[in-house]
A = this chain, B = another copy of it.
Amino acid sequence: MNPTINLLKSHRSIRKFKDQQIPRQLLEALIQAGQSAATSNHVQAYSIIHVVNPANRQRIAELAGGQPYVANSSDFLVFCADMKRSTDAAERAGAEVVRGMTEQLLVASIDAALMAQNVLIAAESAGLGGCYIGGIRNNPQDVSDLLKLPDNVYPVFGLCLGYPDQNPEVKPRLPLAAILKQDYYDDAEDQALVARFDDTMARYYSQRTGSNKSTNWSEQLKPLFTSKLRPHMKAFLNKRGFGLK
Protein backbone atom coordinates (compact mmCIF):
# COMPACT_ATOMS: atom_id res chain seq x y z
CA MET A 1 0.00 0.00 0.00
CA ASN A 2 2.56 2.59 1.17
CA PRO A 3 5.86 2.41 3.12
CA THR A 4 4.25 3.11 6.52
CA ILE A 5 1.56 0.44 6.11
CA ASN A 6 4.24 -2.00 4.90
CA LEU A 7 6.29 -1.16 7.99
CA LEU A 8 3.30 -1.79 10.28
CA LYS A 9 2.55 -5.10 8.61
CA SER A 10 6.15 -6.30 8.93
CA HIS A 11 6.23 -6.06 12.73
CA ARG A 12 7.67 -8.94 14.72
CA SER A 13 9.01 -9.01 18.24
CA ILE A 14 12.79 -8.67 18.46
CA ARG A 15 14.43 -10.26 21.51
CA LYS A 16 18.08 -10.39 20.43
CA PHE A 17 19.97 -7.16 19.97
CA LYS A 18 23.35 -5.92 18.81
CA ASP A 19 25.59 -4.41 21.45
CA GLN A 20 24.89 -0.89 20.29
CA GLN A 21 23.32 1.98 22.19
CA ILE A 22 20.46 4.08 20.79
CA PRO A 23 21.76 7.66 20.38
CA ARG A 24 20.12 9.99 22.88
CA GLN A 25 18.83 12.26 20.11
CA LEU A 26 17.05 9.36 18.41
CA LEU A 27 15.63 8.10 21.71
CA GLU A 28 14.17 11.54 22.40
CA ALA A 29 12.67 11.67 18.89
CA LEU A 30 10.97 8.31 19.57
CA ILE A 31 9.50 9.59 22.84
CA GLN A 32 8.29 12.78 21.16
CA ALA A 33 6.64 10.68 18.47
CA GLY A 34 5.01 8.76 21.33
CA GLN A 35 3.75 11.94 22.95
CA SER A 36 2.09 12.91 19.68
CA ALA A 37 -0.40 10.05 19.99
CA ALA A 38 -3.99 10.90 20.80
CA THR A 39 -4.70 11.23 24.53
CA SER A 40 -8.02 11.19 26.34
CA ASN A 41 -9.07 14.80 27.07
CA HIS A 42 -5.42 15.87 26.64
CA VAL A 43 -4.61 14.26 30.03
CA GLN A 44 -1.40 12.56 28.77
CA ALA A 45 -1.72 10.07 31.61
CA TYR A 46 1.69 8.40 31.30
CA SER A 47 5.31 8.56 32.36
CA ILE A 48 8.23 6.55 31.05
CA ILE A 49 11.11 5.26 33.16
CA HIS A 50 14.23 4.76 31.06
CA VAL A 51 16.01 2.08 33.09
CA VAL A 52 19.74 2.58 32.63
CA ASN A 53 21.18 1.12 35.85
CA PRO A 54 22.41 -2.41 34.89
CA ALA A 55 21.60 -3.97 38.28
CA ASN A 56 18.01 -2.71 38.05
CA ARG A 57 17.65 -4.06 34.52
CA GLN A 58 18.94 -7.44 35.68
CA ARG A 59 16.49 -7.38 38.58
CA ILE A 60 13.53 -6.49 36.33
CA ALA A 61 14.56 -9.26 33.90
CA GLU A 62 14.15 -11.70 36.81
CA LEU A 63 10.96 -10.10 38.16
CA ALA A 64 9.43 -10.38 34.67
CA GLY A 65 9.80 -14.14 34.80
CA GLY A 66 13.34 -14.52 33.48
CA GLN A 67 13.45 -12.48 30.28
CA PRO A 68 17.16 -11.84 29.61
CA TYR A 69 16.51 -9.30 26.81
CA VAL A 70 15.26 -6.87 29.47
CA ALA A 71 18.89 -6.67 30.56
CA ASN A 72 20.49 -7.25 27.14
CA SER A 73 18.50 -4.92 24.87
CA SER A 74 20.07 -1.59 23.93
CA ASP A 75 17.52 0.35 25.94
CA PHE A 76 14.70 -0.61 28.25
CA LEU A 77 11.68 1.59 28.96
CA VAL A 78 8.90 1.07 31.49
CA PHE A 79 5.61 2.66 30.43
CA CYS A 80 3.61 3.79 33.44
CA ALA A 81 -0.02 4.78 33.65
CA ASP A 82 0.21 8.09 35.50
CA MET A 83 -2.84 9.64 37.12
CA LYS A 84 -0.66 11.56 39.58
CA ARG A 85 0.62 14.42 37.43
CA SER A 86 -2.76 15.46 36.03
CA THR A 87 -4.79 15.06 39.24
CA ASP A 88 -2.10 16.88 41.24
CA ALA A 89 -2.19 19.71 38.67
CA ALA A 90 -5.98 19.98 38.92
CA GLU A 91 -5.68 19.95 42.72
CA ARG A 92 -3.12 22.75 42.74
CA ALA A 93 -5.49 24.72 40.49
CA GLY A 94 -8.14 24.43 43.20
CA ALA A 95 -10.13 21.32 42.30
CA GLU A 96 -11.36 18.82 44.88
CA VAL A 97 -10.13 15.79 43.05
CA VAL A 98 -11.71 12.32 42.95
CA ARG A 99 -9.17 9.56 42.38
CA GLY A 100 -9.35 5.79 42.10
CA MET A 101 -12.18 5.43 39.58
CA THR A 102 -12.15 2.34 37.34
CA GLU A 103 -12.54 4.70 34.39
CA GLN A 104 -9.28 6.44 35.35
CA LEU A 105 -7.50 3.08 35.27
CA LEU A 106 -8.77 2.59 31.72
CA VAL A 107 -7.94 6.14 30.58
CA ALA A 108 -4.37 5.94 31.88
CA SER A 109 -3.70 2.38 30.68
CA ILE A 110 -5.04 3.17 27.20
CA ASP A 111 -3.16 6.49 27.02
CA ALA A 112 0.06 4.64 27.90
CA ALA A 113 -0.61 1.96 25.26
CA LEU A 114 -1.36 4.45 22.46
CA MET A 115 1.81 6.39 23.19
CA ALA A 116 3.94 3.23 23.52
CA GLN A 117 2.75 1.95 20.17
CA ASN A 118 3.86 5.22 18.56
CA VAL A 119 7.28 4.83 20.20
CA LEU A 120 7.66 1.28 18.87
CA ILE A 121 6.55 2.23 15.35
CA ALA A 122 8.91 5.21 15.33
CA ALA A 123 11.68 2.87 16.49
CA GLU A 124 10.92 0.33 13.77
CA SER A 125 10.87 3.10 11.17
CA ALA A 126 14.42 3.95 12.24
CA GLY A 127 15.67 0.38 11.84
CA LEU A 128 15.29 -0.60 15.48
CA GLY A 129 13.25 -3.51 16.83
CA GLY A 130 11.67 -4.30 20.13
CA CYS A 131 9.24 -6.25 22.25
CA TYR A 132 6.77 -5.39 24.96
CA ILE A 133 7.28 -6.93 28.40
CA GLY A 134 3.88 -7.52 30.02
CA GLY A 135 5.79 -9.76 32.42
CA ILE A 136 6.56 -6.77 34.64
CA ARG A 137 2.99 -7.26 35.88
CA ASN A 138 4.12 -10.60 37.36
CA ASN A 139 5.65 -8.61 40.20
CA PRO A 140 4.28 -5.10 39.82
CA GLN A 141 4.90 -4.07 43.42
CA ASP A 142 8.60 -5.00 43.32
CA VAL A 143 8.99 -3.21 39.97
CA SER A 144 7.22 -0.16 41.41
CA ASP A 145 9.51 -0.15 44.46
CA LEU A 146 12.61 -0.46 42.30
CA LEU A 147 11.54 2.48 40.11
CA LYS A 148 10.25 4.46 43.14
CA LEU A 149 6.83 4.91 41.56
CA PRO A 150 4.53 7.06 43.70
CA ASP A 151 0.84 6.39 44.31
CA ASN A 152 -1.45 6.87 41.30
CA VAL A 153 1.28 5.59 38.97
CA TYR A 154 1.60 1.92 37.97
CA PRO A 155 3.90 0.07 35.54
CA VAL A 156 1.79 -1.14 32.58
CA PHE A 157 4.48 -2.86 30.53
CA GLY A 158 8.12 -2.61 29.57
CA LEU A 159 9.59 -2.15 26.10
CA CYS A 160 12.94 -3.55 25.01
CA LEU A 161 14.45 -1.57 22.14
CA GLY A 162 17.61 -1.92 20.10
CA TYR A 163 19.30 -2.85 16.86
CA PRO A 164 18.02 -6.30 15.81
CA ASP A 165 20.47 -9.20 15.86
CA GLN A 166 17.89 -11.70 14.59
CA ASN A 167 15.37 -11.83 11.76
CA PRO A 168 12.30 -13.77 12.93
CA GLU A 169 9.28 -14.41 10.73
CA VAL A 170 6.11 -12.38 10.96
CA LYS A 171 3.63 -14.34 13.10
CA PRO A 172 0.21 -14.99 11.51
CA ARG A 173 -2.87 -13.20 12.78
CA LEU A 174 -6.53 -14.23 13.04
CA PRO A 175 -8.51 -13.98 9.77
CA LEU A 176 -9.73 -10.43 9.14
CA ALA A 177 -13.29 -11.76 8.87
CA ALA A 178 -13.20 -12.76 12.54
CA ILE A 179 -11.93 -9.37 13.75
CA LEU A 180 -13.91 -6.98 11.51
CA LYS A 181 -17.66 -7.29 11.90
CA GLN A 182 -20.35 -5.15 10.29
CA ASP A 183 -22.92 -3.41 12.48
CA TYR A 184 -23.29 -6.28 14.97
CA TYR A 185 -21.14 -8.77 16.84
CA ASP A 186 -22.15 -11.79 14.84
CA ASP A 187 -20.02 -14.74 15.91
CA ALA A 188 -21.78 -17.38 13.82
CA GLU A 189 -18.68 -17.76 11.67
CA ASP A 190 -16.12 -17.24 14.42
CA GLN A 191 -15.78 -20.89 15.39
CA ALA A 192 -15.00 -21.97 11.82
CA LEU A 193 -12.53 -19.10 11.38
CA VAL A 194 -10.77 -19.98 14.65
CA ALA A 195 -10.52 -23.62 13.47
CA ARG A 196 -8.95 -22.39 10.24
CA PHE A 197 -6.56 -20.24 12.23
CA ASP A 198 -5.65 -23.24 14.42
CA ASP A 199 -4.53 -24.98 11.21
CA THR A 200 -2.55 -21.90 10.14
CA MET A 201 -0.79 -21.74 13.52
CA ALA A 202 -0.15 -25.51 13.57
CA ARG A 203 1.66 -25.13 10.24
CA TYR A 204 3.53 -22.06 11.50
CA TYR A 205 4.70 -23.78 14.71
CA SER A 206 5.76 -26.95 12.87
CA GLN A 207 7.68 -25.09 10.16
CA ARG A 208 9.15 -22.00 11.76
CA THR A 209 12.88 -21.67 12.15
CA GLY A 210 13.91 -21.91 15.77
CA SER A 211 11.75 -23.81 18.23
CA ASN A 212 9.42 -26.12 16.28
CA LYS A 213 6.49 -27.58 18.17
CA SER A 214 3.25 -29.42 17.56
CA THR A 215 0.49 -27.14 18.80
CA ASN A 216 -2.02 -24.55 17.59
CA TRP A 217 -3.62 -21.29 18.73
CA SER A 218 -6.31 -22.78 20.97
CA GLU A 219 -3.86 -25.20 22.60
CA GLN A 220 -1.37 -22.40 23.23
CA LEU A 221 -4.02 -20.37 25.02
CA LYS A 222 -5.04 -23.13 27.45
CA PRO A 223 -2.39 -22.61 30.18
CA LEU A 224 -3.04 -18.87 30.04
CA PHE A 225 -6.69 -19.21 31.03
CA THR A 226 -6.78 -22.31 33.24
CA SER A 227 -5.18 -20.49 36.16
CA LYS A 228 -6.08 -17.14 37.66
CA LEU A 229 -4.08 -14.75 35.52
CA ARG A 230 -1.94 -12.49 37.75
CA PRO A 231 -4.45 -12.67 40.63
CA HIS A 232 -2.49 -10.03 42.59
CA MET A 233 -3.39 -7.25 40.10
CA LYS A 234 -6.62 -6.14 41.75
CA ALA A 235 -5.11 -5.68 45.22
CA PHE A 236 -1.97 -4.15 43.73
CA LEU A 237 -3.89 -1.54 41.71
CA ASN A 238 -6.06 -0.79 44.71
CA LYS A 239 -3.04 -0.19 46.91
CA ARG A 240 -1.45 2.11 44.31
CA GLY A 241 -4.46 4.39 44.18
CA PHE A 242 -6.22 2.80 41.20
CA GLY A 243 -9.07 1.83 43.47
CA LEU A 244 -11.40 0.22 40.91
CA LYS A 245 -14.22 2.36 42.30
Contacts and interface: CB of A to CB of B under 8 A. Distances in A.
Interface of A: 1-5, 7-11, 13, 26, 28-33, 35-38, 40-44, 46-53, 56, 80, 84-99, 101-104, 106-107, 109-110, 113-114, 116-118, 120-122, 125-126, 131-132, 134, 137, 147-150, 153, 156-157, 170-171, 173-174, 176, 178-187, 190-191, 194, 198, 217-222, 224-231, 233-234, 237, 244-245
B218 A48 contact: no
A83 B206 CA distance: 27
12 contacts: A10-B36, A11-B36, A28-B176, A32-B176, A48-B181, A85-B190, A98-B226, A98-B229, A104-B229, A106-B109, A107-B229, A117-B118
Closest 5 CB pairs of A and B: A4-B125, A113-B113, A103-B230, A93-B218, A8-B33
Contact of A5 (B29, B43, B92, B149): B29
Contacts of A103: 137, 229-231, 233
A33 B183 CA distance: 21
A221 B89 contact: yes
A231 to B, nearest CB: 7
A3 B3 contact: yes
A107 B121 contact: no
Contact of A121 (B118, B176, B218, B226): B118
Given A33-B9, A103-B230, A184-B49, A225 B173 contact: no
Given A4-B3, A117-B114, A234 B230 contact: no
